[in-house]
Amino acid sequence: MPDGAGAEPGWERIASAPFDADIELAVINEDGEAMLAFPCRRMPDGWVNAVTGEAVEIHPTHWRVWETSSQR
């Protein structure tokens, strides 16, 4: 889990997240740090679930390339 820059390989600061790419997001919530269980895409007006296309109201802190279940 990301804990500052470079704490775990592959995690990048959210400001560098690409548009039009399936990515994994990390968020900080009331339980601490967590990774979303589905891929997301960055859009000009926010984030969407890459599977459903629905808007996702989140404030992620880090991102990395989404790996399919066969790659994990």
Quote the tokens at residue 41: 């895409």
Q: pLDDT by residue (tens digit) across 7-53? A: 567 899 999 999 989 999 999 988 898 999 999 999 999 999 999 99
Residue 55 to residue 45: CA distance in whole angstroms: 9
Quote the tokens at residue 31: 């339980």
Residue 70 to residue 41: CA distance in whole angstroms: 20
19: DSSP letter: B
45-65 mean pLDDT:
96
Backbone angles phi, psi at 48, to 5 degrees: -130, 150
pLDDT of residue 8: 67
